[in-house]
Amino acid sequence: MTAAGNPAVATSAGRPLAGGRRLSLDWLGAVPFLAYVGLFLLLPSAIVGFGAFFNADSTFTLENFGHLSRSYVVRATIDTTVISAVTALAGAALGALLAYAIVTGSPNGLLRRLVVSASGVLAQFGGVTLAFAFIASIGPAGFVYLFAQAHGLDYYAHGIWLFERSGLGLVYLYFQIPLMVLVFLPALDGIKPQWREATESLGGNTWHYWRHIAGPILFPSFLGAALLLFANAFSAYATAQALINQGQPMLSQQIAGALSSEVGAVEPGFAKAIAIEMIVIVTLVTVLYSLLQRRTSRWL
């Protein structure tokens, strides 16, 4: 005991508080991250959310949210959701197969290193460059199309689908599949070979293993990864804008349209209301993803 009868216990760095406790300064390490999230995620979201409640005259209104029921916005919401869901599921299925092919090989093998490196690059490849790559290769003047046409295969015989929703979906798969590989690979790595051997020693076969063991264990990860892919496609803008600038099927394009209308009807408040709609949907998806990840982390 000290003379004051109040010993300070130094458990971590920081300022002593009354009673000998010290204020932990551990949170200081999180300041850069919190500052980043605050400045580039929360603040813009708050500005958008706040702005959605005002019209061009800066008067408070709920009218912007009422405009979300306009037929072309509803249509874009449905189209964006469908394209995102289809590319997410297709990307998840194909990416999962590719990831599985990788984990069946050597953990430090050349194939794995190559695919993972390539996926890291390709998952970030999008926008105008990606759209141009597709136009220049399989587009109506692209070398692949010309080659195929010269050999009797005209895949545009029933219309140039590349510049429609199906074409956009194909282009999205270009970054969805590698993203799935990156996200799903750790889950596959967590599968223990002993589980298969235990299944076999207990009388099960390959089907039983996938049906009762590996499938249920991987399913939350698969679903979570598919949700991430959905959010990824849902929020994409530049690729869609570069490929399809007629009709603007995606919600993100509707925001751009509301901000820079060629007929002069600029509606920033409405654009922000659409953005809020997107934020709500992506947030819901992200929360679901987190819940699934939490469940999976107990198993893998």
Binding residues (CB under 8 A) for other proteins: these are: 192, 194-195, 197-205, 208, 212-213, 216-217, 298-300
Which C-beta is closer to other proteins: that of 27 or that of 207?
Answer: 207
Which C-beta is closer to other proteins: that of 113 or that of 192?
Answer: 192
Look up tokens 């990788």; give the residue.
102
Query: How many Å from the N-terminal Cα to the C-terminal Cα in the chain?
Result: 49
The least distance separating other proteins from the CB of residue 184, rounded to whole angstroms, comes to 17
The least distance separating other proteins from the CB of residue 285, rounded to whole angstroms, comes to 24
The least distance separating other proteins from the CB of residue 193, rounded to whole angstroms, comes to 9
The least distance separating other proteins from the CB of residue 99, rounded to whole angstroms, comes to 20
Which C-beta is closer to other proteins: that of 141 or that of 202?
Answer: 202
Which C-beta is closer to other proteins: that of 213 or that of 288?
Answer: 213
The least distance separating other proteins from the CB of residue 104, rounded to whole angstroms, comes to 17
Torsion of CA 195, 196, 202, 206, to 10 degrees: 150
The least distance separating other proteins from the CB of residue 212, rounded to whole angstroms, comes to 7
Which C-beta is closer to other proteins: that of 98 or that of 103?
Answer: 103
Which C-beta is closer to other proteins: that of 40 or that of 195?
Answer: 195
Distance CA 96, CA 225 (A): 10
The least distance separating other proteins from the CB of residue 298, rounded to whole angstroms, comes to 5
Which C-beta is closer to other proteins: that of 119 or that of 221?
Answer: 221
